[in-house]
Amino acid sequence: MSATTSKLNFGSPPPRASSARSIRSEVVASNGSTFNAGNTIVFDIGANQANTYADFQSTYLRLNITNNDGAAIKMEQAGFGALVKKFEVLIGGSTVCSIDSYNVLFSMLLDMDTSNAFKDNAGKRLFMTSSNGTAADAITGQTIAAGATRQICFPLALTPLAMCAKMIPLWGREQIRIRMELESAASGVIGDAAITNADLQFTEPTLVMYMLELGQDVQNQVVAASGGDFKIMMPNFVHHQTTLSAASSSVSTTLGFSMSSLNRVLVAQRLQTVNPATVTIGNRANLGLNRASVKVGGVQYPQQRVSDNVVVAGGAITQVDGAEPLAEALISQRALLSWGHDSSLEGGAGFNAVEPAGTFDTTIGKYLQEIDLESQRTDASELVAGLNVIGQICQYESTYAVGPAAAHLLDIYGEHSIMLVLSVQSGTFQIAV
């Protein structure tokens, strides 16, 4: 046993820095410089960049938002995140991810995983988030005055490129294409009844990227250690949408998921009718949901369905506790015992809001549902092995104590693992799900 600390160990100098340099690069949109709500912005990241790797965890979208409506508009609490309807990544023409209703997923997990302090500080400055307000006659949100312009910087959160633990090689033969479809103005922001897509303008969209360029000696070492293939595991999301009709008390829908490792299922319930003056993307309802499960090949997961304590009196819901659905969501997040875990689920109408209208701060709901499908966890609480649902019928089922007064959309997401494989010999990618 040593009688000294590491501060007195002078025989182990640190290794010398490797032959590499960091490069800050800007990639402008390849299909124009001015866009409106509802348009799609495309970025093409070039291939054949020798010994170069992209750090997508340090990459963000920078653009300007101009309000050309005759009145001020407000952003939802998710800020610019509520304006990204669909996010796609393609490599060499093959689809890596295509996340429909990306904004609903982003808003849901922003509430689950960030605090009000973030929304009112860094998030506010970066991409115009705001915390849960308490006004009974107004909606709190970052404002863009009529004719005004705001610049935002939006990280590529919840995308496979940013969620994986590896840098992405750019020295292959195939370019990376990123497509971002913008939400309609009526759904993505809070404005007057006459707001149109043309009233919301987005200019000079640019991907600000950090890249790592290796010296040839280090690149040779990395290639030799790969065994001929660069294998990159990354999480991904797929989306399914269905409708709970007014007065209906159950949902049973076939999801169409097909992957070798389905890790968890996430569900958001929101009003089907769009009102430009209310919160559309981030207003999530509980609806008195009292049972929910996923079926794969006829087998129910979890074996005991996730339930909630819903009290009904006189044909109306008088109490929803929400404790068990939240506990299950925290288990899915590996955060049941992480009591320092940040969230912002109890502002506005809160996590257990039955059928919030989204018209004021006090009628914005924060409910969400997660069903964990992982069979194991490591000491580091990493996700290990989900369900193989290839070739099997995958269904979501839920029941409600009382049917809702209005129709609601159910946005159902499956998080699963994919593998991106780059062949050193051919310089081309393959995708395995």
Dist. CA 175–CA 91, nearest whole Å: 6
Residue 383: is its pLDDT beyond 90? no
Dist. CA 415–CA 266, nearest whole Å: 8
Partners of 118 in the beta sheet? none
Closest CA to 357 of 322, 401, 406, 308: 406
| Model pLDDT, residue 379 | 46
Give the pLDDT band of residue 3 (cuts 50, 70, 90): low
Q: Which residue has the higher pLDDT, 213 or 347?
A: 213
Q: Write down the domain spans for the chain.
A: 20-432
What integer is the mean pLDDT of 56-82? 97
What integer is the mean pLDDT of 347-374? 94
Give the pLDDT band of residue 341 (cuts 50, 70, 90): confident
What integer is the mean pLDDT of 252-270? 96
Q: How many CB atoms lie within 10 A of CB 327?
A: 12
| Model pLDDT, residue 40 | 98
Residue 382: is its pLDDT beyond 60? no
Residue 280: is its pLDDT beyond 70? yes
The CA-based dihedral angle spanning residues 42, 43, 44, 46, taken in that order and rounded to the nearest 10 degrees = 180
Q: Which residue has the higher pLDDT, 228 or 3?
A: 228
Q: What is the pLDDT of residues 149-162, one digit of tens each?
A: 999 999 999 999 99
| Model pLDDT, residue 244 | 98
Dist. CA 176–CA 364, nearest whole Å: 38
What integer is the mean pLDDT of 104-111? 97
Dist. CA 149–CA 202, nearest whole Å: 9
| Model pLDDT, residue 267 | 98
Burial of 190 (0-12, 13-18, 19+ CB in 10 A): buried
Asked if 89 contacts 154 with a C-beta cutoff of 8 angstroms, the reply is no
Task: Supply the pTM of this predicted model.
Answer: 0.94
Residue 172: is its pLDDT beyond 60? yes
HEC assignment per residue over 187-217:
HHEECCCCCCHHHEEEEEEEEEEEEEEECHH
Q: What is the pLDDT of residues 134-151, one digit of tens each?
A: 899 999 999 999 999 999
| Model pLDDT, residue 375 | 65
Looking at CATH, the fold of the domain delimited by 20-432 is given as Adenovirus Type 2 Hexon; domain 4 (2.70.9)
Residue 243: is its pLDDT beyond 70? yes
Give the pLDDT band of residue 380 (cuts 50, 70, 90): very low
Residue 4: is its pLDDT beyond 80? no
- Mean pLDDT of all residues in the chain? 93
104 Cα distance to chain centroid: 8
pLDDT > 70 fraction of the chain, expressed in percent and rounded: 95
What integer is the mean pLDDT of 12-25? 80
Helix (H, G, I), strand (E, B) or coil at 122: helix
Asked if 19 contacts 219 with a C-beta cutoff of 8 angstroms, the reply is no
Give the pLDDT band of residue 335 (cuts 50, 70, 90): confident
| Model pLDDT, residue 433 | 83
What integer is the mean pLDDT of 369-388? 71
Residue 12: is its pLDDT beyond 80? no
Give the pLDDT band of residue 348 (cuts 50, 70, 90): confident
Dist. CA 357–CA 263, nearest whole Å: 32
Q: Which residue has the higher pLDDT, 124 or 385?
A: 124
Dist. CA 260–CA 412, nearest whole Å: 18
Closest CA to 422 of 217, 251, 229, 142: 229
| Model pLDDT, residue 381 | 43
Residue 282: is its pLDDT beyond 60? yes
Q: Which residue has the higher pLDDT, 10 or 121?
A: 121
**CA distances in angstroms from 124 to 142, 154, 358, listed in the order given:** 8, 11, 21
Dist. CA 350–CA 117, nearest whole Å: 17
| Model pLDDT, residue 17 | 63
Residue 332: is its pLDDT beyond 80? yes
| Model pLDDT, residue 327 | 94
Dist. CA 266–CA 253, nearest whole Å: 14
Asked if 27 contacts 133 with a C-beta cutoff of 8 angstroms, the reply is no
| Model pLDDT, residue 15 | 66
What integer is the mean pLDDT of 66-74? 96
